[in-house]
Amino acid sequence: MTVVDRFLDFVKFDTQSDEETNLTPSTPGQMVFVKYLKGVVEEMGLEEISLDENGYLFATLPSNIEADVPVIGFIAHIDTSPDMSGKNVKPRIVKDYNGLDIVLNEEEDVVLSPEQFPELLNYLGQDLIVTDGTTLLGADDKAGVAEILAAVAYLQEHPEIKHGKIRIGFNPDEEIGLGAHKFDVEKFGCDFAYTMDGGAIGELEYENFNAASAKVTIKGRNVHPGYAKHKMINSIRVANSFITMLPRWETPEHTEGYEGFYHLVGINGSVEETTLNYIIRDHDRDRFERRKREIEHLVNKTNTEYPGCCTVEIKDQYYNMKEKIEPVIHVIEIAEQAMRDAGVTPKVQPIRGGTDGAQLSFKGLPCPNIFAGGENFHGRFEYVSIRSMEKATEVIVNICKIVGEA
């Protein structure tokens, strides 16, 4: 069974996560899928298989050498983004991509075009898996799941490749920031691991944003508008003033690379009360802390004009794993060598987002992120290169080989 066969099988499962349920996994479809995966790893003959009530599936490919080498792990998440439906995904393979527009859905006029997505031209001559334009694809991260299982199957079929003990882990709810929260690092039992959750071929990431959420609540005073002079406090208007006080260029649409931002992700308001939901991001820890203080400063400033009307709740979400990876930088060097051995040029770059690996690194499991091959995650224009998936599989095999020969 090829990595493509596995992937096309896996995207049939609706595993969209939901941050409103307060359950783990957050949706029943994830448990359906992970139980299916449990059957897959059992059929493969893996050992130390465990599936807990929270949807975390672990399994082991035993060592085939006597030498004492590090235990390594490979991790992928089973959920897909809440941003768009992952139900009834209808994937299609575009053979030998020619650089022109790809009509995903003629009836709804959904077109995947290099004019809007110039990265498509990096895949000239390759076979691409696309959606039908009505759902996301699910390469984030079912491509990672498929690659890990395909690599393990390859190692089973080629016992001449010497390797140590290999652990695989599949977890729920990464897309809502909870993938690592109930991940039992001690039970997983690895010296280090890799999440197969990156994007384009060659990506290797061990720097990510420091992240926090900020919920700003503004209390107004509702009075009949005909008699409101000097009495009414319209919380929506106060909220608008708060929004405009933040730097207009420090938003996602104006930043790149190591630049941080404030991102307003939701507004819910009436005259009586308005809430603003922000996410705060920065690679630099000091700047990250300053950003949080700036939000608090603007709350205090708002309260000088409207006493007691504004409050904020700030919660740290995750931190930059760089500080945990640099002391064990050999885990990056191993991945770089594995890519070069597969004919892939490593592209070490910061993640402008988060990953389960960041939280796992702070829980004691160094865990950088490797490409899974997809592009345009979380929406109808998502696609994945078959060559990239095959190379990701090869990189996993090469990592196991390098560690086994150490």
Would you list the domain boundaries of the chain?
3-207+320-404, 210-318
Helix and strand element counts for the chain (H, E): 10, 18
Q: What is the mean pLDDT of residues 292-306?
A: 98
- The answer to whether 348 and 213 have CB atoms below 8 angstroms apart is no
Residue 24 scores a pLDDT above 90: yes
Residue-wise pLDDT tens digits, 34-53: 999 999 999 999 999 999 99
Edge-first strand listing for the sheet containing 166-171? 47-51, 57-61, 166-171, 72-77, 192-198, 369-371, 203-205, 347-348
Residue-wise pLDDT tens digits, 108-148: 999 999 999 999 999 999 999 999 999 999 999 999 999 99
- 210-318 belongs to CATH 3.30.70.360: yes
Same fold, 3-207+320-404 and 210-318: no
Residue-wise pLDDT tens digits, 345-363: 999 989 888 789 999 999 9
What would the CATH number be for the domain defined by 3-207+320-404? 3.40.630.10
Q: What is the mean pLDDT of residues 263-275?
A: 97
Q: What's the pTM value of the predicted model, to 2 decimals? A: 0.89
**If DSSP codes are grouped into helix, strand and coil, which group holds residue 238?**
helix
Alpha helices by DSSP H, listed for 14-170, are 28-44, 139-157
Neighbours of 345 (CB within 10 A): 9
* pLDDT band at residue 19 under the 50/70/90 scheme: confident
Nearest to 177 by CA among 216, 209, 148: 209
- The answer to whether 256 and 351 have CB atoms below 8 angstroms apart is no
Edge-first strand listing for the sheet containing 383-385? 92-94, 128-130, 383-385, 374-375
User: Which active-site residues does the annotation give?
Assistant: 79, 174
Residue-wise pLDDT tens digits, 196-206: 999 999 999 99
Q: Which amino acid is at 156?
A: Q
Residue-wise pLDDT tens digits, 82-94: 999 999 999 999 9
* pLDDT band at residue 317 under the 50/70/90 scheme: confident
Q: How far apart are CA 22 and CA 24, in angstroms?
A: 7
In the DSSP assignment, the letter for residue 321 is T
